[in-house]
Amino acid sequence: MITAELKGRKAHMTGASSGIGLATVELFARSGAAVALNHLPNDDRGREQVERLRGEGFDIIAAPGNVAEPGNAEAMVEKAIQDLGGLDYLFNNAGTPVTSSPIPPDELDKLDEAFWQAILNTNLIGPYRCTRAAASALKAAKGAVVNTASIAGLGQQGSSSAYAAGKSGLVSLTRSLARGLGPQVRVNAVAPGAVNSPWQKDWPEERKRASIENAVLKRRCEPEDIAEVVLFLCEGAAMVTGQTIAIDGGLTL
C-alpha cells in the first residue's frame, strides 16, 4: 500500500461507510490528512467507522448527508468544509446500483422511472452538487476532485443499462468540470472494474469467476487498489486533469 505525506491536508470522501470509500478514508488518514467521512444519516456503519478510526488516533469527522437530495448534499459539504477548516481534496464516491443483482439490457421493464431517478440523482447529479458546493474552497487550496466512475461508463454493461448510462455521464461531467474549475482545480475520475465490495457480494458466482478469468492480472480489485489511484490523482499527477483511469486488472483489454 502506497502512502504520501498529507499532514495539513483536508479531504472529504462521500459514500465512505464501506468499500472503496472507507478504504480511501483510511489511506488518506494514515497519510496524515484530516478527513470528513460522509455516510447516509441512517447508516450505523458510518458512525461506527468514524468512532473506530478516531479510536485509532486519526483525524476523522462525521459528515452525514445524502448526495441524492438537493440542498441536503450542498449543506453536508459546506458543513464538512467548515468543520475541517478548508478543503484540499474531494472524492465523489457515493453511488448506488439500485439493484443487488445485474439486470440484463433486454429487461427494459425493470428500469422504471424511479430506478432511473435513483441512479441519476445519486451517481451523476450527486457528484455535481458536491463539487459545486466545494468549488470555492477547492480553488482557494488549488485542490483536486476525483469522481468514482466505472468501467460500465467506458463501454461495459455494469449492473444495468441505467447504471452504465449514469457512469458514462459522469465520465463526461468529469471532463466538463475539469474545464470549468481549471486552472486552480484538477478533476479526474477512477473507473473500477470488478471489486470485492459489498455492492457485488450477491452477484452470480459465474460472473465473479469470469471477472477473474478474463482479467489480465487474474484477480478482482480490492477497495485498496482504487484508493491508491485516488491518492495519486489528488496528491500527485500535477498535469493530469479531465481523465478517467480504468482500474480493472486488464479486464477490459
Q: Which residue has the cell 459545486?
A: 132
Q: Which amino acid is at 251?
A: L
- DSSP-derived secondary structure for 17-47: SSHHHHHHHHHHHHTT-EEEEEE-TT-HHHH
Among candidate residues 49, 90, 163, 194, the one labeled active-site is 163
Catalytic site includes residue 89: no
| Spatial distance between the Cα atoms of 128 and 131, rounded to a whole number of angstroms | 5
SS3 for 70?
A: coil
Q: What residue type is 237 in one-letter code?
A: A
**Cell numbers describing residue 128:** 455535481
Cell matching residue 153: 461508463
Give me the active site residues, please: 163
